[in-house]
């Protein structure tokens, strides 16, 4: 979502990216997720329904290392009624080519039978059109109630374990107040522990300041903190787009934002650490004509300025790990300077999450991950569950 100036700000990220996959560096088969308690830590992935058009249905994901799966997206009408954003992808497309499974929702149901302990959560909203009705819906008490009732009906009808609100994003204090009221209405219809209620929020203080985070989190099981897209086409200089730590001398305002600063700010506003899921991008941001953070750039490569993680590093590029920032980038090839996360930085973020008592990590998206020893989701799993990674 764009800022009031028409450009995204640091800590923004449009949910037009998200799912999950996995693999490992250690050649020891981990204990399957279904044998692990569904408490903490959480290793989650988003699955966007549009990925089925590129040959990646839900069943293409390696769920052996996943505890929670967010299915994106359902949308809402101004009257508060939910509907799936792509009827063909969700309910009609032939998944296996033989007519045996129609639509991503049925594919997901089949996966739920194979992995009964994985929690599946319906994500509502997303970037652009997906979030447009939220201000009107949330501002009216009757419509809020209709929305909450519709959400419960959809969750029950399709076998989900809960709802994720991805309103991108409340743009002023009044909308922030309505957002909290919307969460309260949802919690009433989706009581814990029978249902899971989460919300994805930007990492930037410029957006979070509009929300009473303490009140919001009191209604939520988890806040999915979207700690990526700190830098991109909207910034004047290139930089790390998902750095773990802020540099001592940031080259611009975007460089001040980091995973750790976002977590600290959320906690300072009343969010308990155990309710924070740290977001990890399974994609990189490209800056042509640049070779290091702080350089000016001439353009962007890839799809809308990004490459999926499984397509990184770019051929001929040199990989650099910035240990101080907790970020990796490659330089050269056809991508210029590309900022992304790899196994090393994911391990750093998982270690940070454990140390700070966070709920765990989530990935946007799982379909951007690899299915070999470089898998981000598996690296996260092995770091969050070291006892199981050792074969215990």
43's tokens: 């290793």
293's tokens: 């953070």
CB 391 within 8 A of CB 53: no
User: In Å, how far are 27, 240, 278 from 15, measured between CA atoms?
Assistant: 33, 19, 15
Give the span between the Cα atoms of 229 and 11, in whole angstroms.
6
Nearest-5° angle of CA 1, CA 202, CA 57? 75
Helix (H) or strand (E) holding 165: strand 162-167
Give the span between the Cα atoms of 282 and 156, in whole angstroms.
30
Q: Helix, strand, coil shares of the chain as percentages rounded to 5?
A: 35, 20, 45
Nearest Cα residue to 384 out of 342, 341, 344, 355: 355
Which residues touch 187 (CB under 8 Å, ≥6 apart)? 197, 219, 220
CB 257 within 8 A of CB 226: no
Query: Which strand ranges, in their side-by-side order, compose the sheet holding 337-340?
Result: 306-308, 283-287, 337-340, 327-331, 318-322
Question: Does the annotation mark 253 as catalytic?
Answer: no
Give the span between the Cα atoms of 202 and 205, in whole angstroms.
8
- Candidates 168, 189, 205, 378; catalytic one: 168
* Residues designated catalytic: 168
């Amino acid at each position: 979502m764009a800022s009031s100036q028409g450009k995204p700000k640091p800590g923004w990220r449009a949910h037009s990216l998200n799912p999950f996959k996995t693999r490992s560096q250690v050649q020891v088969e981990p204990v399957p997720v279904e044998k692990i308690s569904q408490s903490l830590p959480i290793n989650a992935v988003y699955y966007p329904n549009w990925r089925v058009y590129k040959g990646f249905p839900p069943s293409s994901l390696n769920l052996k290392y996943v505890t929670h799966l967010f299915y994106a997206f359902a949308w809402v009408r101004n009257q508060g009624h939910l509907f799936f954003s792509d009827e063909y992808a969700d309910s009609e497309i032939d998944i296996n080519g033989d007519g045996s499974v129609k639509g991503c929702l049925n594919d997901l149901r089949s996966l739920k039978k194979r992995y009964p302990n994985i929690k599946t959560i319906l994500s509502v909203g997303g970037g652009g059109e997906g979030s447009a009705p939220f201000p009107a819906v949330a501002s009216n008490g009757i419509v809020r109630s209709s929305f909450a009732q519709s959400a419960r009906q959809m969750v029950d009808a399709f076998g989900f374990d809960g709802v994720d609100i991805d309103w991108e994003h409340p743009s002023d204090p009044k909308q922030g107040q309505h957002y909290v009221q919307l969460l309260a209405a949802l919690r009433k219809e989706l009581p814990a522990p029978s249902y899971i209620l989460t919300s994805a929020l930007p990492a930037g203080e410029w957006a979070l300041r509009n929300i009473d985070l303490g009140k919001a989190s009191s209604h939520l099981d988890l806040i999915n903190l979207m700690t990526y897209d700190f830098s991109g086409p909207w910034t004047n200089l290139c930089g790390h787009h998902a750095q773990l730590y802020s540099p001592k001398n940031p080259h611009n305002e975007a460089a001040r934002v980091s995973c750790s600063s976002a977590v600290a700010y959320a906690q300072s506003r009343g969010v308990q650490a155990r309710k924070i899921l740290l977001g990890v991008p399974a994609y990189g941001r490209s800056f042509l004509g640049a070779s290091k953070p702080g350089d000016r750039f001439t353009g962007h490569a890839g799809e809308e300025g990004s490459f999926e993680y499984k397509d990184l590093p770019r051929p001929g590029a040199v990989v650099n790990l910035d240990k101080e920032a907790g970020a990796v980038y490659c330089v050269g090839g056809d991508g210029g300077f590309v900022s992304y996360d790899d196994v090393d930085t994911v391990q750093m973020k998982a270690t940070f999450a454990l140390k700070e008592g966070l709920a765990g990590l989530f990935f946007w998206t799982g379909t951007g991950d690899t299915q070999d020893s470089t898998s981000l989701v598996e690296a996260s799993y092995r770091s969050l569950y070291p006892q199981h990674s050792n074969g215990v």
